[in-house]
Structure 1
């Protein structure tokens, strides 16, 4: 049931994003942008912390850089490592995406009720011991 809802919500959010932006990104690219947020993580740490193969993560990072959403910079602590950060365009796209997610969440609250939505969010946050 959770998997079906996740697929439904991801598709709905993807459609909303594509309707509101001229830059088309895959869910994996959005996932990587979310991992970067306002930090400057190393490429290696992003690759480790996403559930995508290392090779695919590097490909997505190159695509994001080519679209002007991120830039690849030298790490301050180690010149051999590379870090990534959002560009102004990347920050703008990320903030628009967060607003769309909030809009979707607000629609859910209207449909199922604010209390039920909060209960659902709390249930998803707790440790299920799996």
Structure 2
């Protein structure tokens, strides 16, 4: 029998893969799930490498890799933070903002697909459940 954590992981993985595939099938600029995660966190205001490491729960080297890739795709820029010789802040470019906004439309389509698959009542219940902390800390 599959345990609870594995079920959540599989559902998350399937949704992320669907989003990545939908984007890449309809756009020349291919973006990986990990790059999306970094891009959206920058959009939400987590702009420095330490902030991204904390939010994404991946290594500093991993964050640097994705930041470099997003810069090469001209979706973000970076700048040195005043007073720091090594710390950089990332910002979305105009192209990056357009792409994040387009991805939001795509995610809305996926949410509709989920709602159609599991039903309106179950979808609303799932949203309410996922908004609650799963563990008491």
Report if TM-score (shorter chain) is over 0.5.
yes
The Cα shift of 1:38 comes to 5.2
The answer for the alignment partner of 2:115 in structure 1 is 109
**Aligned-pair Cα RMSD in Å:** 1.7
Calculate the TM-score normalised by the size of structure 2.
Answer: 0.85
- The match for 2:106 is 100
Give the structure 2 partner of residue 125 of structure 1. 131
**In structure 2, what is the equivalent of residue 46 of structure 1?**
52
Between the aligned partners of 1:2 and 1:39, the Cα distance in structure 2 is 26
Question: Is residue 65 of structure 1 aligned with residue 71 of structure 2?
Answer: yes
Cα distance between partner residues in 2 of 1:17 and 1:98:
11
Aligned residues, how many?
Answer: 129
Distance 1:38 1:11, change over 3 A: closer
Please tell me whether the aligned partners of residues 43 and 82 of structure 1 are also in contact (alpha carbons under 8 angstroms): yes
- TM-fit CA distance, 1:5: 1.4
> Aligned in 2, Cα 1:119/1:126: closer, same or farther, shift over 3 Å?
same
List gaps (5 residues or longer) in structure 1.
none
Q: Could you say which residue in structure 2 is the equivalent of 1:84?
A: 90
Contact in 1 for aligned 2:115/2:123 (Cα 8 Å): yes
Equivalent runs, 1:18-57 vs 2, <5 Å: 18-37=24-43, 39=45, 41-57=47-63
**2:53 and 2:135 mapped to 1: Cα distance?**
25
Q: Which runs of 4+ in 1 moved over 4 A?
A: none
